[in-house]
Structure 1
């Protein structure tokens, strides 16, 4: 838990950019609930599987702004990001609001909940 949450956020960003399934599995809690931009609810296994199978690839992932609030062993991160890539064979490029809730589990930060939605331009 001594690792600043901003460092964990950067590690997660790099894991998404490189489709590093091992890193994603380490950072995502087993009981993760992720609501993707299409409104689908994904488990950790489902989220990791799309990267493992190459169904999602991210070419650009830039953080425009980020706010972090840490409350003991919980951290809430709100970000505005610019992301482009391909998902399920379709190209995407846009700005998204992301919310992630991190929790310390077995002495390490892990994402327990995440949500992404398209930002209004």
Structure 2
């Protein structure tokens, strides 16, 4: 049985909600879904905080034209849960549009009654996809 937060959402529901917020750079939803204590490792090895992530979406430094999910796994444990999502993504960057296959690994906890990402990482699996 899946753990539900106070809004009735499962970890799967919140992963979907987070991906939707990323596609739209929805700062309100991202703020709600990301823990204030977030530690996230980018594909270049840089460690990002929640504020850095929100700022990247706010300024357009992180901007997705598309995130097409290829696979997703979710599991829960005594501490919370984790998700792994593989997707073809199209990002807008200063140098133009980039197509890349990404894998996101996220650790989730129920914080203040709602599922939130507390840590994670993203890695590039391929520079482009067909």
Q: Is the structural similarity TM-score above 0.5? A: yes
CA distance in structure 1 between the aligned counterparts of 2:67 and 2:78, rounded to whole angstroms: 28
Task: Give the structure with the larger strand fraction.
Answer: 1
TM superposition score normalised by structure 2 = 0.86
Choose from 13, 21, 28 the match for 1:15. Answer: 21
Secondary structure of the equivalent of 1:17? helix
Residue aligning to 1:98: 104
Gaps of 5+ in 2: none
CA RMSD of aligned residues (A): 1.4
- Is residue 5 from structure 1 mapped to residue 11 from structure 2 by the alignment? yes
Gaps of 5+ in 1: none
Choose from 81, 92, 107 the match for 1:75. Answer: 81
TM superposition score normalised by structure 1 = 0.92
Residue aligning to 1:39: 45
Max radius of gyration: which structure? 2
Choose from 54, 73, 76 the match for 1:48. Answer: 54
Say how many residue pairs are matched.
120
Q: Stretches of 4+ moved more than 2 A in 1? A: none
Choose from 68, 80, 92 the match for 1:62. Answer: 68
Q: How far 1:63 moved relative to its partner?
A: 1.0
Q: How far 1:73 moved relative to its partner?
A: 4.7
Choose from 113, 119, 123 the match for 1:113. Answer: 119
- Is residue 28 from structure 1 mapped to residue 20 from structure 2 by the alignment? no
